[in-house]
């Protein structure tokens, strides 16, 4: 099965980013395909490389980036939502790319299922 995943919440005040991350890993481990992970609304904060969690906390930004780099998962950040929240190319974490809603629509059309994490 081919999935598109939408992450609408940031990394530090909501469980959505972690749940999405674990879902993507589990789906890949079961042999499913991830068409794209699209970060929208506050979810774009998952791509901000200048965020620094406390030392005893997980670094979900780096975990997402590693997933994108090592497993070839396409991590797309909505350009309009990113600019509103101060996420720009110069502070974009490794493994992510900025694009528009067209990428989300295309991924949804090319997938069997679209799953949304967060409001």
For 48, which DSSP code? B
CA 87 to chain centre: 13
Taking the C-alpha atoms of residue 14 and residue 117, their distance in angstroms, rounded to an integer, is 10
Looking up tokens 């974009």 gives: 92
Is residue 78 annotated as part of the catalytic site, yes or no? yes
* Choice among 24, 75, 78, 82 that is catalytic: 78
Residues labelled catalytic: 78
């Amino acid at each position: 099965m081919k999935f598109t995943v939408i992450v609408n919440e940031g990394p530090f005040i909501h469980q959505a980013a972690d749940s999405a991350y674990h879902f993507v890993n589990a789906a890949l481990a079961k042999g499913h395909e991830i068409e794209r992970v699209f970060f929208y609304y506050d979810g774009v904060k998952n791509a901000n490389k200048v965020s620094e969690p406390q030392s005893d906390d997980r670094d979900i930004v780096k975990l997402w980036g590693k997933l994108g780099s090592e497993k070839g998962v396409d991590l797309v950040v909505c350009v309009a939502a990113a600019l509103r929240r101060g996420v720009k190319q110069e502070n974009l974490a490794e493994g992510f790319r900025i694009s528009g809603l067209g990428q989300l629509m295309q991924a949804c059309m090319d997938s069997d299922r679209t799953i949304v994490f967060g409001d």
